[in-house]
Structure 1
Amino acid sequence: MKGIMRKKEISPKKISKIILGIILGLLLLSLNLIFFIVDTTEYAVVTQFGNPVSTILQPGLKIKLPEPIQSVQRFDNRIQVYEAEPLELLTSDKKSVKVDYYGTWRITDPVTYMKAVKDKVGAEARLLDVFSSSLGVKLGQYNLDELINVDANKLKLDPMIQDTIQKSKEKAKEFGIEVVDAQIKVLNFPAANQQSVFSRMKAEREQMAKKYRSEGSEEATKIRANAEMEQKIILSESYKQTQKLKGEGDAEAIRIYAEAFQKDPKFYEFIRALETYEKTIDEKTTLVLPSNSEILKYFERGKSGN
């Protein structure tokens, strides 16, 4: 009948393409289940029914049996930073201190790591024990003034940290972890003890300041005494030199006077009299002297001359 539609037939060529597509899809799916890529930032552990069968430390394209026979566990191989809450620990001299620290670590044995800690959360829980116990043991071997001191020769903080790192390395090996470094960010006193510690430090500094002031005052007294002694010596030498020069001047003056007197005794006597008048007589001077006084003889001569 013309009204009845004829059934559409699929050609053999089209069927072949469909089958080929299905085969390729299955092949790609199989390849995806068998092949996998390991990145440069990770390690991989191939497990078979949960048990590790191979460890892959180098990046690249790798092969395994398809799921669920074999599966891949991936772990970050980069250095990671661990930071925890500050710890309160005791020093060798029984001083309580608050230690804020951090540590760096990385995975070195992926299989041991997977069995011991499983993941990063488990690793950090183990590292808390590792770092806290190592810090507690090593810090307890040093006095407080060996960890906090302005004198670099007495400070032993760096050796303490190096001992802590070494002890942490030994403990972390059993978890497939390498401790790379550990450093103290803040070393302080617990809040409950800070005020008493600061008061004691203030008292010690005041005592030290008093000592320095006392030593300074004593040294200043010595300096002043030495300066005064030197001053007296200098003044004495100056006075001695002055007196010497003055004596020499007086002697020279006497010599000159003597020579002048020998040349003309009367003139010398007249000059000396004038000097005496100049020193003793002015417009306000009133003299009461006997008539035969030596000082009046030149006045008498002046009158007789007039």
Structure 2
Amino acid sequence: MSTKRVLLTMFLGLFAIVGVIAALTTWYTVDESEQAVVITFGKPGETITESGLHFKLPWPVQNVEVLSKETFSLEFGYKERSQGDMDVYPMETKMITGDEFFVLTDLVVQWRITDPKKYLFHSQDPKELLHSATSSAIRSIIGNSKIDAALTDGKSDIESKTRTLLTQLMEKYDVGISVLGVKLQDVELPNEEVRAAFTAVTDAREMKNTKINQADKYKNQRMGEVEGEIAAIKSRAEGQKVARIEQAVGDVAVFQQLYNEYKDNKVITRERLVLETLETVLPQAQIYIMNDDEGSTMKYLPIQPGASKPKEEGSDGQ
């Protein structure tokens, strides 16, 4: 075989290989749950978000990085395995509260790739960067929280503040990641003795709150009863007030009537008043009214009839 034929055969073989490579690397598919970035000689170009079959220049001129649109979960402080078991990292989750208590805090961060170009080219490992930002955010929030809030009813507030701070950090890092949510999985004390002591304190606090609520209920009940009694007393006093006023008005009317009669007939009115007064003061007495010799003065003698004396024995009237 001549040299020319050998070269031609090699050229045709090389051309066939290039054609196969071009055919295999020219077309690519994007699923509905995916997004892609076309990279030309190492520089990011167009972002493809529409699903379907797409064309690009063959490798090595262009290549495509396909990323998911779905929501990812970052497990901080633990790692779930496929068998359902869990690996725990206590040194990662151990942190100190604002009142200087140690707690173990693990959480889940929901996140999504919102800018594929930044995700691919602004950081060498954006997932690791998100993990570090999560650690920084949760430690900052726990460090400004009291242990009571971290272990009881303050978890939702801690979650909200952690998400806000983590979102600010990721926007500052600008790696194309958006934080969708933060969920505390568990916040607990580092050992059994401390947990038992805190549980006892929590139970005592709940008992205290229960007693306070019962006392407030009793107070409100008694206040209602007292207010009812006060209203009844005021009502009776108001009734007595009205009765006294009516009585006083009646007495004034009677007195005014007597006074008018007295002005017209002073002597007769005076004598009648004296008689009425005597009847009132001496209701059981028999009263004798006598005029003096001149007839100008009346004498009132309350004389009771005396019992007759028994005769002495042996008396014959001598």
* TM-score for the superposition, normalised by structure 1: 0.52
Partner of 1:291: none
Partner of 2:126: 123
2:36–2:65 CA contact under 8 A, matched in 1: yes
Structure 2 gap segments, 5+ residues each = 1-14, 78-89, 215-318
- Of the three residues 61, 64, 71, the one matched with 1:69 is 61
Which structure has the higher relative contact order (CA within 8 Å, separation 6+)?
1
Q: Does 1:57 align with 2:26?
A: no
Partner of 1:141: 144
- Of the three residues 127, 132, 137, the one matched with 2:135 is 132
Matched residue SS, 2:47: strand
- Of the three residues 103, 111, 114, the one matched with 2:117 is 111
Structure 1 gap segments, 5+ residues each = 1-22, 150-154, 217-306
Letter aligned with residue 162 of structure 1:
S
* TM-score for the superposition, normalised by structure 2: 0.50
* RMSD, aligned α-carbons: 3.2
2:107–2:183 CA contact under 8 A, matched in 1: yes
1:110 offset after TM fit, Å?
0.5
Partner of 1:190: 190
1:80 offset after TM fit, Å?
1.0
Query: Percent identity over the alignment?
Result: 24
Partners of 2:200 and 2:26 in 1: how far apart? Answer: 72
2:22–2:59 CA contact under 8 A, matched in 1: no
1:181 offset after TM fit, Å?
1.0
Superposition pairs of residues 153-172 of structure 1, within 5 angstroms: 155-172=153-170
Q: Deviations over 1:273-306 (max 9, x none)?
A: xxxxxxxxxxxxxxxxxxxxxxxxxxxxxxxxxx
Q: Deviations over 1:26-80 (max 9, x none)?
A: 8776444322211112111111121112211221222211111111111112111
Partners of 1:75 and 1:27 in 2: how far apart? Answer: 27
1:132 offset after TM fit, Å?
1.0
Partners of 1:211 and 1:183 in 2: how far apart? Answer: 28
Matched residue SS, 2:170: helix
The count of corresponding residues between Structure 1 and Structure 2 is: 182
Letter aligned with residue 199 of structure 1:
A
Q: Which has the higher strand share?
A: 2
Question: Which moved further from structure 2: 71-80 or 83-92?
Answer: 83-92
